[in-house]
């Protein structure tokens, strides 16, 4: 109980501290309530910190963490898209800069390549990789939450991806090449926007067809270039998910993994695949306790608490900061 309380209070204080810094130092308010009510940002700050503390309290329990992760992830997506809708229909104050941008994860990469400049979302994205590894793909991405919903919950009939993996690298190379070509040719913004919208619609089609059929997050694993970037860069963060020698290769954990990171070959090699996002859904499924978080020489419980603390703090902050 003591460790649980420490985790919850720590998240509350961390969210409050960092948002206070943003509230005081950023001239153009990033907290929405501050844009409508002078001093309203402090109310939003307190609500975000309280939310973070509550999520940390419940996710501390491994038996509840998978359910709470899914609920909070979908909540993040609802908040994100609600602000977008309100920004389009009610007031531009709900948008990040008062200008509408496409709410497609691919634009986090392609947008800066096309415009030749970084965006706030790009900075947020890279910061999450540095601080919490691949958690972007399991806690923060607004499209990923929809893909996770499409893939469903625990399922004994999850179909592992095989030939589709061969498309992953060529696909992201093609996207980068097309984006750079659009910039070099100075293609009109309207045409570039239509291309991006078509890509987003294609992603939704992948979710509704392949993700539902395979019971895997096919959109995030193969279609989304941001997911590929996360898989490649996540090791800048020292947190790992390990499979120790107590593993009996029962494959029960595979039923819980929607990232196709626990195939028979992965279990045999005692190492989750590169697509593992450290979501932790598989941890409680292992009766032998073989799946554990590991950071440096810390004990698994301490490593997990550190990961939860950092990730939930970022989740709560990103929820109020991430806007189009």
CB 255 within 8 A of CB 155: yes
Look at residue 162 in the predicted model and tell me its pLDDT: 66
Whole-angstrom distance between the N-terminal and C-terminal Cα of the chain? 39
What is the sign, positive or negative, of the torsion defined by CA atoms of 254, 244, 130, 310?
positive
Cβ–Cβ contacts within 10 Å for residue 54, how many? Answer: 17
CB-based contacts of 104: which residues, under 8 Å, 6+ apart?
143, 196, 197, 199, 200, 203
Cβ contact 291:253 at 8 Å: yes
pLDDT at 69: 93
Lookup: tokens for 266: 């992965």
pTM: 0.89
What's the pLDDT at 290?
93
Question: Rounded CA gap, 283 and 143, in Å?
Answer: 24
Q: Are strands 240-243 and 291-294 parallel, antiparallel or unpaired?
A: antiparallel
Burial 116-141 (b: 16+ CB within 10 A, else e): eeebebeebbbebbeebbbbbbbbbb
pLDDT in tens, 279-323: 999 998 888 889 999 999 999 999 999 999 999 999 999 999 887
Tally: H helices and E strands in the chain: 14, 2
pLDDT digits (tens, 9 = 90+) for 108-122: 777 777 777 777 778
What pLDDT is stored for residue 46 in this prediction? Answer: 97
Instruction: Give CA–CA dist 132/175, Å, rounded.
Output: 26
One pLDDT digit (tens) per residue for the chain, 324 residues: 789 999 999 999 999 999 999 999 888 888 999 999 999 999 999 999 999 999 999 999 988 898 999 999 999 999 988 988 898 899 988 887 655 566 677 777 777 777 777 777 788 788 899 999 999 999 988 889 999 999 987 666 677 776 666 777 888 888 888 888 888 888 887 888 888 888 889 989 999 998 988 888 998 888 888 888 898 899 999 999 999 999 999 998 998 899 999 999 999 999 999 899 999 999 988 888 899 999 999 999 999 999 999 999 999 999 998 877
- Which pLDDT score is estimated for 97? 65
Bridge partners of 243? 291
């Amino acid at each position: 109980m003591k460790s649980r309380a420490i985790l919850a209070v720590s998240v509350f204080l961390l969210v409050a501290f960092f948002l206070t810094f943003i509230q005081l130092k950023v001239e153009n308010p990033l907290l929405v309530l501050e844009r409508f009510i002078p001093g309203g940002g402090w109310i939003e700050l307190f609500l975000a910190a309280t939310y973070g503390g509550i999520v940390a309290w419940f996710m501390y329990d491994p038996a509840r963490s998978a359910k709470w992760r899914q609920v909070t992830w979908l909540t993040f997506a609802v908040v994100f898209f609600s602000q977008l809708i309100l920004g389009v229909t009610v007031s531009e104050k709900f948008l990040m800069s008062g200008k509408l941008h496409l709410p497609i994860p691919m634009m986090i990469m392609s947008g800066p390549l096309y415009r030749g400049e970084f965006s706030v979302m790009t900075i947020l994205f890279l910061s999450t990789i540095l601080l919490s590894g691949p958690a972007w793909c399991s806690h923060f991405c607004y499209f990923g939450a929809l893909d996770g919903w499409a893939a469903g919950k625990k399922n004994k009939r999850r179909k592992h991806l095989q030939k589709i993996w061969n498309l992953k690298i060529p696909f992201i190379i093609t996207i980068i090449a097309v984006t750079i070509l659009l910039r070099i040719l100075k293609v009109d913004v309207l045409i570039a926007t239509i291309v991006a919208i078509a890509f987003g619609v294609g992603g939704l089609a992948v979710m509704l067809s392949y993700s539902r059929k395979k019971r895997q997050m096919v959109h995030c694993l193969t279609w989304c270039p941001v997911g590929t970037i996360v898989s490649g860069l996540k090791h800048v963060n020292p947190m790992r998910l390990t499979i120790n020698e107590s593993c009996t290769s029962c494959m029960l954990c595979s039923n819980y993994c929607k990232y196709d990171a626990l195939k028979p070959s992965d279990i045999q090699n005692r190492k989750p695949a590169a697509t593992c996002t450290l979501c932790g859904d598989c941890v409680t499924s292992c009766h032998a306790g073989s799946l554990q978080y590991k950071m440096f020489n810390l004990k698994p419980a301490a490593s997990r608490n550190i990961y939860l603390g950092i990730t939930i703090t970022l989740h709560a902050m990103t929820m109020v900061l991430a806007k189009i």
